[in-house]
Amino acid sequence: MEEYRMIEKDGKPVEYRLFTYENQDNGWTVRAIFNPESEEFSIRTDIGMLEFALIEFITDSFELFRSMVEERLARIVNDYYVDRKRNFSIILRNKGVPDVEWDDFLPESYKGFRRLIKPNDAVRIINGSYMILSYYDAATRSGLSLMYNLLRDDFFAERRVQNFPNLVHDFDTSSLKELEKALKKRLVPVLDTIAADRDKSLSE
């Protein structure tokens, strides 16, 4: 949808929003912006637990930006965030990540956290990584995300409370089998801890 409006923070302009695509089911957005400070156009993606720029779209030329958006953005939105399996790396496939019956032990929701991503529908993010699991409470911007880095061949996790990030080491491994074991044993306790910290922050 078209917006054409300036977004301000603490009274200062931070981005001029040209348009936003929003997934009504999970609240994800892909937006086109102009940064008044850097004087650059870019596409920014917000998938709840992470927000990042698609670096291939960053330019200071509006004509080039418009051309790239018209030629490529619709396909990228579909492949990256809708029909995500189309964008799976052969490394991710060979690792076996899409093949596990994750629904057998990953709840769809828990203590206010909604599962927005599961490994069968992993999302390509940045720095050679996929987000393969995400539990998120949009109201408090809190949750847990689990990533797989293609270059390092390892799984790693991050928690957020009120959008403040911290690493979680309960799921650090390069073995898919060990990851399954860790998730079965540690997912609920980790979410319990995040929920307690989230609730504490709300009461302060």
pLDDT digits (tens, 9 = 90+) for 109-168: 999 999 999 999 999 998 899 999 999 999 999 999 999 999 999 999 999 999 999 999
Q: What is the pLDDT of residue 109?
A: 97
- pLDDT band at residue 1 using 50, 70 and 90 as cut-offs: low
Which two three-digit tokens encode residue 180?
């399954």
Q: What is the pLDDT of residue 129?
A: 95
Residue 85 is classified by DSSP as: G
pLDDT digits (tens, 9 = 90+) for 21-62: 998 888 899 999 999 999 999 999 999 999 999 999 999 999
Burial grade of 61 (CB within 10 A; 0-12, 13-18, 19 or more)? exposed
- % of residues, the chain, pLDDT over 70: 99
Q: What is the pLDDT of residue 203?
A: 87
pLDDT digits (tens, 9 = 90+) for 85-103: 888 999 999 999 999 999 9
Dump the DSSP string for 89-151: -HHHHHHTGGGS-GGGTS-SEETTEEEEE-GGG-EE-STTEEEEEEEEETTTTEEEEEEEETT
Q: Give the CB-side neighbour count of residue 26, counting CA atoms within 13 A.
A: 20
Residue 56 is classified by DSSP as: G
SS3 assignment, position 68:
helix
Question: 58 φ, ψ to 5°?
Answer: -70, 125
Question: What whole-number distance in Å separates Cα of residue 80 and Cα of residue 76?
Answer: 6
pLDDT digits (tens, 9 = 90+) for 186-204: 999 999 999 999 999 998 7
Would you kindly state where each structural domain of the chain is located, as residue ranges? 2-82, 87-203
Q: What is the pLDDT of residue 28?
A: 92
- pLDDT band at residue 2 using 50, 70 and 90 as cut-offs: low
Question: Where do the H-state alpha helices sit in 31-88?
Answer: 62-68, 74-77
Q: What is the pLDDT of residue 5?
A: 81
Which two three-digit tokens encode residue 190?
């980790």
